[in-house]
Amino acid sequence: MFYKFIRVLVCIIVFILNGRFKIDGKENIPDGPYIIVAPHRTWWEPLFFALAISPREATFMAKKEIFKNPILRFILVHSHAFPVDREKPGPSVVKTPIKNMKNKGQVLIMFPSGTRYSEDLKGGAALIAKLSKAPLVPVVYQGPLTFWGLLKHQQITIGIGKEIDFDFKAKLTEDQIEKVNVDMEDAWKVVDNHINPEFKYIPQKKTEH
């Protein structure tokens, strides 16, 4: 119930803050469990992804540090988020989302690069797809990259592509992981070009404090 309440609240807030939100390619969403894989472009795009797949509910991983705040932890946990130690990720990084997909029918939202400040893709998406037998679905965010741009009602589009080809029976080797990573990047480019061929995203640089 809390997730549904939060989703309605987020929908209202999004409409007030921006109001120019559309979804492209929703027909590509599978009926069963699946994994959204996306390039990480803003801190708020998971909210738009969760709205895009409604009425299905999403689960996602977040860095463990933000769970220290009790109020934020309550909201995150009841929004199906689970903590991850980026320095020393344990078995729960794989087990928790698989359990949520299989037992609760939730959709996993993943950013294979891990952060908004990296273009390097890891092997987590391939591993979870292999163990869960859930297809990888490429999704991209096109829209304002600053909160000010969000408030100025700049157009936001969530593009959903076709399932990425994945051999669930093959042994998960480094070569297969690399192939999946290349296929994901190619799929993102296809979706980006379908929405706006002139769109170019330049990864942000992390500000040192």
Reading the block at residue 1, the tokens are 């119930």
pLDDT value at residue 169: 86
pLDDT greater than 90 at residue 64 = no
pLDDT value at residue 209: 43
Reading the block at residue 52, the tokens are 């895009």
Q: Compare 114 and 165 and report the one with higher pLDDT.
A: 165
Reading the block at residue 173, the tokens are 């080797």
Q: Could you tell me which of 175, 201, 39, 168 has the C-alpha nearest to residue 110?
A: 39
pTM of the model: 0.89
Percent above pLDDT 70 for the chain: 93
- Average confidence score pLDDT of the chain: 88
Q: How far apart are the first and last CA of the chain?
A: 39
Q: pLDDT tens for residues 70-122? A: 998 998 998 999 988 877 777 788 899 999 999 999 999 999 876 655 556 77
pLDDT interval class at 25 (50, 70, 90)? very high
Q: Compare 141 and 63 and report the one with higher pLDDT.
A: 141
pLDDT greater than 60 at residue 165 = yes
pLDDT value at residue 200: 82
pLDDT value at residue 23: 96
pLDDT greater than 90 at residue 123 = no
